[in-house]
Amino acid sequence: MTRRGGKVDSAPRELIDHLFAISRVMAGKLDFRSAIQAVATEVAQIVPHDHLDVCIVRGDGRFHTAYESGIQTEWSKSLDPVEQSPIRNLLEGEVDHILSYDACNDARFCAEKPGHRPIFDHGLRSRIHVPMVVHGEVIGALSCSLCSQGAYGPIDVRNARYIADLLSPYFFALRAAEQARLASVVEAEAKAREEGLRLGALKLTEALEGERQRIGMDLHDQTLADLTRLVRRLERLALSGPVSADALKPVVRGFHACMEDLRQIIEEAQPSVLQLFGFAHAVENQLERSIRDSGQAIDWQISGDSRAAFDGLDPKVSIALFRIVQEAINNAVQHAEPKRIVVRLDKGRDHVGIAVIDDGKGTSDRRIRRGSGIENMKTRARLISARFALQDDPGGRGTKVTIVLPVRGGTETASDGKAAAE
C-alpha cells in the first residue's frame, strides 16, 4: 500500500477498508444532508477535500440540488436548473468526468454565471467531478474540491469513481423515498382540498338556502303584505266612484316604497354595482350605504392603487370576494362600534389581497366569532382557493380581515369558485 500526498495511491486493503467504512456510516441515514455529512470524513481518507458535495438530479431531469460538507456555498441553498450548472455536461452524460487543475482559471467555468459563482467566491481551484449512475441513468454527481491548485490527478479520479459507484445506490434510494414522500404529501393535500371544497359547498348550500328563506320571508312579511294592502285600497277606491288625484297620492307613495324595498332585496341578492362599475366602486358603495343605514358617525377609506386588478378577475370569483368584503364591513358596522373602517386593495406578483380594518372593539365576544357570517366568509374563500384570516389587534382595539387570492397572469387560479359566487 502506498500513498501520495496523503491520498490512497492504489486499491488494495486500505482503500477497501475505507469503502467499507463509508458503507457502514451510510446505514440508517434517511436524508441527503445527514448522509453526506456522515461519509465526508471517510471520503477524505481516499480523496482529500476542502469541499465535498453530492449533486442530485430531480425526477424531471431539469433541476438539481447540492448537499455539501466542508465549505458551505450557495449551491446547497436552492434548487438550480441543470442547464445553468457548471457540471451540466457531466449531468447530461456528454463527458464521463471533469478534472480541473485550477477552476478559477479554467475556460469551462465563468465567474459571471450565477451557477458557477461559488467556485470563484470560495477559491475552489482543484476540482474532480464524477457521475453517479444507477441503471444507466445519471442521477447526480460526486464533487471534491481543494483550494490549492493542481492537487488532483488520474488516480484521484479513479478513487472518486469508486466512491461514487458505492454511494449511487444509497442516494438513488434516498431520492426514490423523497419522491414517494412528496407524492404522498401531494395526494394528501389534494384529498384534503377536495374534502374542504365538498364541506365548503355543503356549508354554502346551507347558507344559500337560509338566504333564500330570508328573501322569501322579506317578500312575504313586507313587500307582499304592502302590495296586498295597496290592492285592497285600490279596490275600495274603485267601488267608491270617481277617484281624485289626492286620493291616489298615498297609493302611489306606497307603490314607490314597495319598489324601493324590492330594489333593496335585489341589490342584496345580486350586486349590480359590482357588475356595472367595478369592484372598488361596489365596495365603496357598500361602505357608504352600510354606514349611512347604521346612523353611526364612522369615517371610511378605500386605499391601494390596484383597483384595476380586481376588475380583471372572473366575475364569479369577483362576486365571491365582494361577498366576503360585504360581510366583513357589515360585521364591523353592526358589532364593532368603530370610529374608522379602511378597505385596502393590493396586488402582488402572484396574488391580489384585500384587507378590511376597523378600530372597533374586536371579536372577543365568542358569539360573534362563532357566527355564521364568519363561517360563510371562510367557506367562500376556501371555494375560490383564497386564504382567509381574521385577527384582533393585540391591544384589543380593532379587527383585521384579510383575503389573499393567488393569481396567474392576471387571471385567478381558482376555477372551482362557481358555487361561491352563486
Q: Which of 42-56, 135-149, 392-406 has the weakest average pLDDT?
A: 392-406
* Contact partners, residue 30, CB within 8 Å, separation at least 6: 174, 177
Lowest mean pLDDT among 141-145, 220-224, 341-345: 220-224
More confident residue, 92 or 277: 92
The residue among 422, 345, 420, 347 whose CA lies nearest residue 385 is: 420
* Residue 259 to residue 256: CA distance in whole angstroms: 5
Q: Is the pLDDT of residue 57 over 70?
A: yes
Mean per-residue pLDDT of the chain: 81
Give the separation between CA 47 and CA 411, rounded to whole angstroms.
54
Q: Give the β-pairing of 299-303 and 340-347.
A: parallel
Task: Give the integer Cα–Cα distance in Å for 159 and 298.
Answer: 78
**How many Å apart are CA 129 and CA 204, to the nearest integer?**
59
pLDDT for residue 140 is more than 80: yes
pLDDT tens string 237-279? 888 878 788 888 887 887 877 777 777 776 666 566 677 778 8
pLDDT above 70 for 409? no
| Separation between Cα atoms, residue 322 and residue 111, nearest integer Å | 51
Whole-structure pTM over 0.85, yes or no?
no
Q: Regarding predicted confidence, which is higher, 102 or 195? A: 102
Q: Of the spans 99-103, 321-325, 358-362, 366-370, which averages the highest pLDDT?
A: 99-103
User: Does position 1 have pLDDT exceeding 80, yes or no?
Assistant: no
Distances (CA, A) of 26 to 41, 132, 163, 173, 273: 12, 16, 12, 12, 66
Q: Would you state the pLDDT for residue 145?
A: 94
Whether residue 366 has pLDDT greater than 60: no
Average pLDDT over residues 16-33: 80
Residue type present at position 321: L
What is the pLDDT confidence band of residue 5, given thresholds at 50, 70 and 90? very low
Please check the confidence at residue 280 and state whether its pLDDT lies above 70. yes
Torsion of CA 112, 349, 419, 401, to 10 degrees: 130
Report the distance separating Cα 170 and Cα 19, nearest Å.
13
Q: What is the pLDDT of residue 314?
A: 85
Instruction: Grade residue 192 by pLDDT with cuts at 50, 70 and 90.
Output: confident
pLDDT digits (tens, 9 = 90+) for 104-137: 999 999 999 989 999 999 999 999 999 999 988 8
Q: How confident is the model at residue 220 (pLDDT cuts 50, 70, 90)?
A: low
Q: What is the pLDDT of residue 411?
A: 45
pLDDT tens by residue, 154-189: 999 999 999 999 888 888 888 888 777 777 777 777
Residue, of 387 and 304, whose pLDDT is higher:
387
At residue 214, the pLDDT reads 65
Percentage with pLDDT > 90 across the chain: 30
State mean pLDDT over 77-87. 88
- Partners of 342 in the beta sheet? 301, 357
CB-CB contact of 330 with 290 (8 Å)? yes
Q: What is the mean pLDDT of residues 357-384?
A: 74
Task: Please give the order of strands across the beta sheet that includes 137-146.
Answer: 80-81, 63-70, 51-57, 137-146, 126-134, 98-100
